[in-house]
Structure 1
Amino acid sequence: MLTLHCRLTMTLGEGVFWDDATARLYWVDIREGRLYWLDPGESAPDYTTIDEPLACVALHDDGGFVAATRSGLWRLDAEGRKQHCLVDGPQDSNVSWCNDGRCDARGRFWVGTKHDGESDPVGALFSYQQSIEQHLEGITIANGLAFSPDQRWLYHADSPHRRIDRHAFDLDTGRIGPATPWVDLDTLGIEGYPDGAAVDRNGHYWCALYAGSAVIELSPEGALLSHHPLPVPQPTKVAFGGKDRRTLFVTTARQHMSDEALQQAPLSGSLFSMPVDTAGLEDYRFRAD
């Protein structure tokens, strides 16, 4: 059962991941430009703030972070302070900017973009290592990015379509195949939009359902295995962490909610967690080469 882990008032909590080396949990509040971290044994997180929306970060193999922001990809130091821009935003930030992202097992940083107004299919999916490469286009809100345990599949969703696709993935070259429809939420008969996701060691895909008040678990064949309700309407991303990676953490949002809605769901914008039986996959670090 999902329970409250930290009571917060994040506008758009997202990008949660676990660092095994420090037993520290990281996540962001995109709209507020905040990078949060929660140390072992602490009940409340610390955070730092940058001067623009912060979509997601990954640990850098040389220390600090690589970060996807509205303006582009940045190198951050260990305290989350901007060092230098690695590459300008792959698209006009007035039209489409970074959203969901994570690294693959070779250390490439994958980032999907979203339309600023969240209504037009002008976003895309990119990867970055020594240079930036585009892999998909025609995306409205890129989400659900995750890899199978053997790195043979890349999962991805364009949230408004309520469908999760998968692509054959070549880890050596970083190339993906055409989209294959994998899970349709209409077919499953459940509410919400596929948002941030993570995969466990059995290859089960766990996904937050934005506007669906739940987290779901899907088999590698796309069957619904479990459905976990939350007391808030807008869960945004999941990550495995804690001892043996058998705790599922869930970020949430309170953006676009009326005063009445917030009164009915006062924990919106908080961090939740639940124990799980199967450990999650590790979160890979960015490598520059």
Structure 2
Amino acid sequence: MSRNPLQGFRVERNQIGFVGHDLQRPECILAEPDGTLWVADARGGVVHIDPDGQQILITPKTQPQEASFEERYVEAKGSLPNGLCFDQEGKLIVANWGTNAIERMSRDGHLETLYTEVDGKPLGKVNFPLRDSKGRIWFSVTTRTEPWTEQVNTKVSDGYIGLIDEKGIRVVAEGFCGTNEIRFDAQEEWLYVVESTARRITRLRHKDGKLFEREVYGPQELEGHPDGFAFDAHGNLWVTLVFLDKLIAITPEGEVLELLDNSNPEANAVYERHFRAGTLTPGIMAANHGTLCPWMASLTFGGPDLRTVYLGSLRGTRIPFFRSPVPGQPMIHWQRR
């Protein structure tokens, strides 16, 4: 394999620009080839950002613009779009963290609830949807624990992965500790899974909608909680570490490269003690964040050459971006519909 373009690469603060303004909980970002961005927003919908930077909030409901930390981040009240993907028609599939539902929204804001249950049980904290090359929708559920913050203390492995296809909705893999984003490799041979609370990336071999041969990918335990991730064209897996607010990459050989550090060491030391002891409180969690992209939650490759990296967050109001030395792996919607 050729030399890894991430060797020796670090993101410097003077290389970072920003797009968007007055965003609320911009957790997930979808980029289109023309430069358009679609950003999840805590007001119950998405923010559409044009290539020239103009933005508009698209929401089917009126949500309170102000909410306490407890209401928004602990109790997850109201409609809180979390993960997003496009279906084959170009409509948005929304994993709604607040309503515990999988929804579909048109680009002009028409919303329909697709699923709130699987196997006769409530879905739980729906986190992230992913479309594959056959048009199927895969999704992750972080936990069925309410409030979800308790799972970070108990570390119960009640997360799972589901699949929606012509047969309906079903669970295809379970027993994950804080299931978060999911991604396929370029050939869809493996489905990669973030286990946030377990602090690891796992993967499962995929064939014909079935998952098997589960294994840990990279270190058994990362430095912090992985949240979002994406592959680049070289095969590096870029990973955001939420709360710690670092951006790392796991190389194809399993080496961890630190690309960006915006952590608060003092607050994180307190957080770590309580995480290990299982005594975290919302206040301790709230104090642990950086300033650039607070609670760094996701990353998206965009731009015409897929070399612009956008960072999503849970507590930011704008989107940091920078240029990468290597293009990203294109999402399935990058192909012509």
The bucket for the TM-score relative to the shorter chain is 0.7 to 0.9
Are the equivalent residues in 1 in contact too, given 2:293–2:311 (CA < 8 A)?
no
Q: Percent identity?
A: 21
Q: How do residues 203-282 of structure 1 correspond to structure 2 at under 5 angstroms?
A: 203-230=235-262, 231-254=292-315, 268-282=316-330
Which has the larger share of helix?
Answer: 2
Which has the bigger relative contact order, CA under 8 A and spacing at least 6?
1
Equivalent in 112, 122, 136 of residue 108 of structure 1: 136
SS of 1:220's equivalent?
coil
Note the C-alpha offset of 1:101.
Answer: 2.5
TM value normalised by structure 1: 0.81
Q: Aligned residues, how many?
A: 262
For 2:268, the equivalent position in structure 1 comes to none
Q: SS where residue 117 of structure 1 aligns?
A: coil
SS in 1 for 2:142: strand
2:41 aligned with 1:41: no
AA of the residue aligned to 1:75: R
**Moved segments of 4+, more than 6 Å:** none
The whole-number CA distance in structure 1 between the counterparts of 2:55 and 2:162 is 31
Instruction: Determine the structure 2 residue equivalent to 1:258.
Output: none
Do the aligned partners of 1:197 and 1:238 also contact (CA within 8 Å) in 2? yes
For 2:103 and 2:20, the matched residues in 1 are separated by: 29
Equivalence for 2:269? none
Structure 1, unmatched stretches of 5+, are 255-267
**1:269–1:121 CA distance, 2 compared to 1 (3 A):** farther
Distance 1:86 1:232, change over 3 A: closer
Q: What SS does the corresponding residue of 2:332 show, helix, strand or coil?
A: coil
Single out whichever of 152-161 and 225-234 deviates more from structure 2. 225-234
Alpha-carbon distance in structure 1 between the residues aligned to 2:22 and 2:200: 29
Q: CA deviation at 1:144?
A: 3.4
Instruction: Report the structure number with the largest CA radius of gyration.
Output: 2
Query: What's the counterpart of residue 114 of structure 2?
Result: 86
Indicate whether 1:61 and 2:62 are aligned.
Answer: no
Which amino acid is 1:117 matched to?
A: P
CA RMSD of aligned residues (A): 2.4
More strand by share: 1
1:195–1:208 CA contact under 8 A, matched in 2: yes
Q: What is the aligned counterpart of 1:17 among 13, 30, 53?
A: 30
Unaligned runs of 5+ in 2: 1-10, 62-78, 263-291
